[in-house]
Chains A and B, each alone.
Chain A
Amino acid sequence: MAVISETVKPMNGYKLHVVKTEKYKTNTLVWKMKAPLEKSTVTLRSLLPHVLQSSSSSYPATGKLRAYLDELYGATLFVDLAKKGEYHVITISVEIANEKFLSDPTPLLKKAFQFLAEILTKPNVHEGAFDPDTVEKEKRTLKQRIQSVYDDKMRYSNYRLVQEMCKNEPYALHVHGEKEDVDSITPQSLYEYYQQALEQDELDLYVIGDVEEADAEAYAGELLTFEKRTPQAAPSSPVNTRESVNEVREEQDVKQGKLNIGYRTNVVYGDPEYYALQVFNGIFGGFSHSKLFLNVREKASLAYYVASRLESHKGLMMVMSGIDNNNYDQAVSIIKEQLEAMQNGDFTEQEMEQTKAVIKNQLLETVDTARGIVEVLYHNVVSGKEITLQTWMDEMDKVTKEEIAATAKKVSLDTVYFLTGKEAGK
C-alpha cells in the first residue's frame, strides 16, 4: 500500500491534488500560489493574502467574515508565506469539520470550497482597487510583522545569516517583504498585482480528507476557473563564490550569543545525492543523537540547543546554537571538527542506520497531518520532479557510508554569523 495516495488532475489554470484518507475528523483545502522570488514583488505578495482574508464582496467587514466561519463549526482560514528555494509561495488554507462527527448532519465540504472561491475570486474591490481601509490596516500589520523578526533573536540571527550569506541573491529577501517598500503600495497597485498573480502564478489546490475525488473535482471545476498559463521558472541566480569564509559579528544587548553558520551543500532536492545529503545532515546535526548535539551540548556543555537543518531547494545547510558570548571560538572549532569528521567518513554504520531509521520515522510522522502531507507533496511542484514518498525512503535506504562522505565533501562553509552581547570578553 502506498504511504500517500495522491491523485492529480489538471483543471483550468491549476492542478487539483486529492488525497483521500479517513483518519481525520476535518477536511482541509490548501491553495498554493508560486512565483519567482523578486525584490519588485515580494512585498506585494506578502500583503496580498492578508488583504484577501480580511474581507470579500459578500463579507465586506472582517467581523462578518469571521462570524460566518464560526457558524461553519469554526472553520479555520489561515494564510502563510514561504520561501522555497528562489520561489515565493503564498498558501491559503481552509479546514472544516467533517459533519459525520457532528450532531448536525448539514454537509460542510462544499461550503468550504465556496468560501475559498469567495476569498480568492470575489475580493472586496471597487473601481479597480481593493478597499482602501483594509489595505491601510494590513499595511500597518505587515510592517509590524516584518519588524517583529528583530525582537526574536533566534529568528533574527537566522535571518541575518541568510542576508549576509546570500547578499545579491533573491534568497536574501525577507519572506514577508521589505519594510521600506510597504508604504508605496496603493489599493490600485495591489489590485493590479492580484490580477497579475492569478494570471501568471503556478497554482495548486490540495484537498485532504474523507472526500470523494469526483466531488472535489466537481466543486473545484464549478467554483475555481482560471486562464491557462506556463508557470515562470526562477532564473538561476548568481551564487557567491568566496575565496575565504565570511565572518560577521554583530553586537546587541543580549545575554546569550547566537551562533549561526551557513554552508553551501551544492545539492538540491531531486539530485541523485539528495538522499545522502539528508542522511549526512541527520548524522551531523539533525537529531538528538547527532554529532553536534553530542559534542557541543552533551560533552562540552556549551549549549542548550544546537542543530543543523537543510534548505532543500536552495542547497543550503544552516547550523544554529545559543552559547555564552565567551565560548565562540570553542563552539566554532568543535562544529568545524564535526564536519571534517563527516568528510573523512569518521562515523559508524550504526550512526548511519540509526539516522536512516529516524528520518524515515520523521517522514511517516509528517504525513500523519494534513499540512504535512501537503508540504511533502509540494516539494515536487517546486522542483518539477515526481518523487513519491516511497521512492524517497527506498533511495535513502540504499545510501552508503562512502556516498555520505562524498556528499559531505561537497558541503562548503560560507558564512559564520555571531550575534553577541555587549559584555563579551576577548
Chain B
Amino acid sequence: MEKITFDQLQEELYYEKLDNGLDVYILPKKGFNKTYATFTTKYGSIDNHFLPPGKEEFIKVPDGIAHFLEHKLFEKEDGDVFQQFSKQGASANAFTSFTRTAYLFSSTSNVELNLETLIDFVQDPYFTEKTVEKEKGIIGQEITMYDDNPDWRLYFGLIENMFKNHPVKIDIAGTIESISHITKDMLYECYETFYHPSNMLLFIVGPVDPDQIMSQVKDNQSKKDYKEMPEIKRQFEEEPPEAAEKKKVLEMNVQTSKCLVGIKSSTPNQSGKEMLINEMSLNVLLDILFGKSSEHYSTLYNEGLIDDTFSYDYTQEQGFGFAMVGGDTNDPDRLAETLQKMLLDSREKGAISQETLDRTKKKKIGAFLRAVNSPEYIANQFTRYAFNEMDLFDVVPTLESITLEDVENAAGNLISEDRFTVCQVVPKK
C-alpha cells in the first residue's frame, strides 16, 4: 500500500492496485462521523457501441441501458439491497453520468459490513425478464419527470445542438421507447464488458483505519475469480468540430424564459496534465468573464437580462467537452446575443488583466478548500479525475501555476463562432 501525503492540505491518501486490476483509495478523515464510499465503473451513457469480451463484432445497445443497469443491480433474488443497507444503518445510492456509473453508501456505524455489502452487490448481478419489465414502469416515470423539467430540457437541448454524432447528446435515461427494447441478456452483456475490477475504482473516505480497510478489500477480492480482461474496445463516430445546430427554441409550460449559450470544445481528446491545465484555465476564464465580481455580470444584472439563476460551467471528459452560460431571462434573444459578443471579445489582446487573474486564482483556491470539507466531493471528483488520468490533489498547485498566457490560449482554442449554439425555453403561446 502506497501512502501519499499532502502537506498544505494536511491530508493523507492510501492507494493500492489489486491483482485483479481494481484501484483502491482510502482517505482517512478524523473528526467526521460519516464514512462515504463509492464503487465506480468507467462506464456511462456514451458507451453504447463496443466489443463484448470474447466476441468478434461490435454491438450497439439501446439508449439508457447504463442507467437501467444501475437500477437493476440493486435487485437480488432475496430482495433489494436498499433494505440490507438500511438494516445496517447506512444510506445507499447510485448515479449514472455520461462516462461513469457510481454506487455508494454513507454510514456512521457498521462501516466494514456496509463496505462488504457495497462490493458484493455490485459484483453479483441478478437480472431476470420479470424484474427488467417491472423496472420499465419506474424508469418511465423518471423519464417523464425530466420531460416536465424545463432546466433539464434546456441543458440537454443545448448538448443536442452541439453534437452531430457523439452519444453525449443522448439523454442518460434514454426514452420510454428505447428502454422498451432492453432485455436481461443485454444487461448481462454490458455488465460483462464494463464491470470487471480493472475498469473500476473504489474510494473510501471517513474516520477509518486504512490498513484494516485495505486488507478487508483484498480479502474480499481474493475470494472472487476474475479472469484477466483485454482492454475494452469502444467505438465512436467521427464528430465534426462545429456545432451541429445553431439554435433551438422549446415551448414549454413555464412563465419565465430560459436561455443557454453553449460552446463545443475544440480540444476533446486531452487527458492528464494537459487536460487539467486546459480545464482549470477555462474555469478561471469563465469566472473572470461572468463571476459576480465581473463587469459583465454587473452589466447583465443591471440591464435585467439575468437573475440569480445565472450560472456557467465547463465540462470535459475523454472525447467531448463544452462550456455553457446562461439562466432565466426576460429577453432570451438579447441575452444570447450579448453573451456571444462578450465571449468573442474576450479573445482580444488585453481583455484579461493580471490583477483579475490573480484575484480569481485566490477565489478558486478557497473554493477548493471549501469543497474538500465534503467527503462526497472528494470521492466523486477524485474518481472522475483518475478516470481522466488526472489527480484531484494537483488542483491547487495547478491553479497557482496558471499564467495569463494559459488562460489566453485556452480562450483562443475554445471560443469560435462556428462552435457556438443557443438553446431557449419560452412560455407556450
Contacts and interface: CB of A to CB of B under 8 A. Distances in A.
Interface of A: 3, 21-26, 61-64, 66-67, 69-76, 95-98, 100-103, 137, 140-141, 144-145, 147-148, 150-154, 252-256, 287-289, 293, 297-298, 301-305, 322-324, 350, 353-355, 357-358, 360-362, 364-365, 367-370
Given A72-B366, A289-B86, A361-B91, A21 B255 contact: no
B153 to A, nearest CB: 11
B237 to A, nearest CB: 31
A64 B359 CA distance: 12
Given A61-B298, A73-B363, 17 more contacts: A25-B369, A26-B370, A62-B301, A70-B360, A74-B365, A102-B365, A103-B8, A141-B308, A144-B307, A151-B254, A301-B135, A305-B141, A322-B145, A357-B87, A361-B90, A365-B108, A369-B374
B285 interface: no
Contact of B33 (A298, A302, A303, A365): A365
Nearest to A144: B307
Given A25-B9, A145-B308, A255-B147, A322 B369 contact: no
Interface stretch (B288-296, B339-347, B387-395, B414-422): B288-296
Contacts of B87: 289, 350, 353-354, 357
Contact of A26 (B254, B294, B308, B369): B369
Contact of B106 (A63, A97, A154, A365): A365
A103 B30 CA distance: 22
A189 B135 CA distance: 56
Given A63-B293, A63-B298, A150-B254, A25 B373 contact: yes
B83 interface: yes
Interface in B245-259: 253-256
A323 B330 CA distance: 32
Contact of B362 (A21, A70, A144, A370): A70
Given A255-B144, A289-B82, A305-B145, A368 B33 contact: yes
Q: Which of A22, A101, A102, A370 has the most CB of B within 10 A?
A: A101
Interface in B142-167: 142, 144-145, 147-151
Nearest to B296: A63
B358 to A, nearest CB: 9
A365 B34 contact: yes
Contacts of A62: 292, 298, 301
Given A97-B370, A151-B256, A71 B9 contact: no
B401 interface: no
Contact of A67 (B31, B92, B145, B293): B293
Given A62-B298, A63-B294, A361-B107, A256 B141 contact: yes
A124 B8 CA distance: 39
A289 B83 contact: yes
